[in-house]
Amino acid sequence: MASSSSSDFCASYGIDFPLFAFSHCRDVVAAVSNAGGFGVLGGAAYSPEQLDRELTWIDQHVNGKPYGIDIIVPAKFEGKGETLSGTDLASRIPDSYREFVDKLLADHGIEPDTKVRTGKPVLSGGNGEELLEVAMSHPITMMANALGVPPDYMIEAGRERGIPVAALVGAKEHAVKQVAAGVDLIVAQGTEAGGHCGEVSTLVVVPEVIDAIDDAVPVLAAGGIVTGRQMAAAVAMGAAGAWTGSVWLTTEEAETEPHTVTKMLAASSRDTVRSAGRTGKPSRQLRSDWTDAWAPSPGGQQPLPLPLQNMLSEPVLRRIDALADQGHEGARLLSTYFVGQGVGLMNKVKPARDVVLEFIEDYLAAAERLSNSLPD
């Protein structure tokens, strides 16, 4: 699929169709790469040993097809530059925040957990270098950094091995910085994206980024893209392809909690919210009583900075998920998970391979529709 610069792009990444699929699930990554797209494993939360196991599995299942890895190394976080253990960081969470969470749980008929009070600082990027080393020992063909400019050692490692380094940005100013730092691929992500996101929409940020970096490197469009017609829209605007995440959460292969899948299938695009209540940085997720509790409002509770808010919220949200899957009503009202506004177009559980094939079909129909709008 492709001619001109678009075909060059596909050729250089060894793919048939420029659909990039970010997933925490190795099965999704392999299925997408096997179907002609490009699977990207979200590896930020893994230990080096876990990551090695996941990548080994992928190697055994993609028959040499290309795939990549995504690690989070934020530019700024509480405790960065200091030598702080998880325990030191945990001591920075004020008691008033634990009391606020305990009351929120009590209001929903859930007892506080007095044993596990704090999660690991998984978004702190503390083990980023180790994860990168593990990834390098596998035949990855792209590596991405989701938060901030990639550190020098990541860019250098990519150069040495000929592995392109990608970076996600939500604003043109960030894209310009990333290109100056030496990244090979920009993912321009709109505010409709699931997870951490900026404020500018995909339809605006994609052309804005392409103009700002003056075509220096290819740009993938991200944010709200769950169909081939939306991907075609992005390519019409000059993107080299699409970077997707949410659409894989309701595939057969995904390990999404069952009650979360139910929520996502029922959700309209208006059932997500950009909230700092989960990680401390604004991230889009299903709106719930949890996100409402941290919403900016007169008299509201201000979330803690990254990674403290995440350390506070993750163990609680995991318990909430487990209770919700058991049918606990209060837990169902509280439970939330990262997903973009495209959730409004996700209405059926399908195999990941079928999602890729439907993307291609829908993309072709969109291209024909635009072509037919031209004068004869």
**3 contributes a contact to a second copy by CB under 8 A:** yes
Size of the site for a second copy (CB under 8 A): 62
Beta carbon of residue 211, minimum distance to a second copy (angstroms, whole number):
7
Least Å distance, CB 291 to a second copy, is 13
* 155/193 with CB nearer a second copy: 193
Within positions 275 to 304, which residues make up the interface with a second copy, using CB under 8 A?
295-302
Which of 29, 51, 200, 356 is in the footprint of a second copy by CB under 8 A?
Answer: 200
Within 8 A by CB and 6+ apart from 176, the residues are 212, 213
Burial group, residue 268, by CB count within 10 angstroms (0-12, 13-18, 19+) = exposed
Smallest distance, Å, CB 241 to a second copy?
A: 9
Place of tokens 């321009």: 188
In this chain, which stretch among 98-106, 130-138, 161-169, 232-240 interacts with a second copy, using CB under 8 A? 232-240
Contact 32, 254 (CB under 8 A): no
Enumerate residues 237-266 that contact a second copy by CB under 8 A.
237-238
> Applying CB under 8 A, does 176 fall inside the site for a second copy?
no
- Per rule CB under 8 A, is residue 91 in the interface with a second copy? no
CB of residue 226 to a second copy, shortest distance in Å: 8
Q: Which of 191, 250, 251, 285 binds a second copy (CB under 8 A)?
A: 191
Q: Answer yes or no whether residue 233 interacts with a second copy by CB under 8 A.
A: yes
The smaller minimum CB distance to a second copy, of residues 124 and 244, is found at 244
Q: From the CB of 82, what's the least distance to a second copy, in Å? A: 28
Q: Which residues contact residue 330 at a Cβ distance below 8 angstroms, ignoring those fewer than 6 apart? A: 107, 108, 109, 110, 323
Residue 188 · residue 161 · CB < 8 Å? no
> Cβ closer to a second copy: 146 or 225?
225
Distance CA 278, CA 144 (A): 22
Q: Interface residues for a second copy in 108-137 (CB under 8 A)?
A: none
Q: Out of 190, 194, 195, 303, point to the residue binding a second copy (CB under 8 A).
A: 190
- Smaller CB separation from a second copy, 130 or 173: 173
Question: How near is the Cβ of 248 to a second copy at its closest, in Å?
Answer: 17
Q: Does 86 bind a second copy (CB under 8 A)?
A: no
Tell me the closest approach of the beta carbon of residue 318 to a second copy, in angstroms: 28
**Single-letter amino acid, residue 122:** V
Site string for a second copy, 201-230 (x = CB under 8 A): xxxxx-xx--x-----------xxx-x-xx
Does 376 contact a second copy by CB under 8 A?
yes
Burial state string for 302-313 with b = 16 or more CB within 10 A and e = fewer than 16 = ebbbbbbbbbbb
Mark the segment that binds a second copy (CB under 8 A) among 48-56, 97-105, 109-117, 235-243. 235-243
- Residue 268 as a binder of a second copy (CB under 8 A): the answer is yes
Instruction: Report the nearest approach of a second copy to the CB of residue 18 (Å).
Output: 8
Cβ within 8 Å of residue 289, ≥6 positions away: 104, 108, 333, 334
CA-to-CA distance for 282 and 280, rounded, in angstroms?
7
Residues in the site for a second copy, rule: CB under 8 A?
1-4, 6-7, 171-173, 190-192, 198-205, 207-208, 211, 223-225, 227, 229-230, 232-238, 268-270, 295-302, 341-342, 344-345, 364, 366-367, 369-376
